[in-house]
Amino acid sequence: MLDRFVNNSDLAKLLLRLSVGGLMLFHGINKLQHGYGFVEKMLEKAHLPGYLSHGILVGEVLAPILIVLGLYTRFAALMQVAVMVMAIYLVHTGDMFRLTEHGAYALELQGLYLFGALALFFLGAGRYRPGKGKGVWS
């Protein structure tokens, strides 16, 4: 009985989905409440089209909701990975090789979101989700 509980990869996938998707959703809600126009300016400064700023809605609102629900998890995780790569490129490039005053890596939060989403891309949603489809993007 204990062995079945401890060796439960589906429960681990659920916990990963809830943490990576649920916590990222707070970033998206904040941007919905306070705006994300600053992202357009950063993109244009990096010589990229400003309209890409709307990807924030996809990567920080839609993708986390899909991840939490376990719907199209691999696709949603890939969207979140793309947004995190852009966030690191646009905002945190200067922190790439920096430690904080406490000795922690300056990009540890961004790294956890990026690699957590990447892990979900490779793992999938697991058993605890609505629907039982076995598609490649579930």
- Tokens representing 121 are 């891309």
CA distance 115 to 103: 21
Report the pLDDT value the prediction gives residue 76, as an integer from 0 to 100: 97
The pLDDT score that the predictor gives to residue 1 is: 74
pTM here?
Answer: 0.92
CB atoms within 10 A of CB 31: 18
Residue 5, pLDDT score: 75
Phi, psi dihedrals of residue 99, rounded to the nearest 5°? -110, 155
Which residues are CB-neighbours of 49 under 8 A, at least 6 positions away? 43
* pLDDT tens over the chain, length 138 residues: 778 778 899 999 999 999 999 999 999 999 999 999 999 999 999 999 999 999 999 999 999 999 999 999 999 999 999 999 999 999 999 999 999 999 999 999 999 999 999 999 999 999 999 877 666 777
φ, ψ for residue 41, nearest 5 deg: -65, -40
- In angstroms, what is the C-alpha Rg of the chain? 16
> Could you give the CA distance from residue 59 to residue 21 in angstroms, rounded to a whole number?
10
Q: What is the DSSP secondary-structure string of 27-43? A: HHHHHHHH--HHHHHHH
What pLDDT does residue 133 have? 64
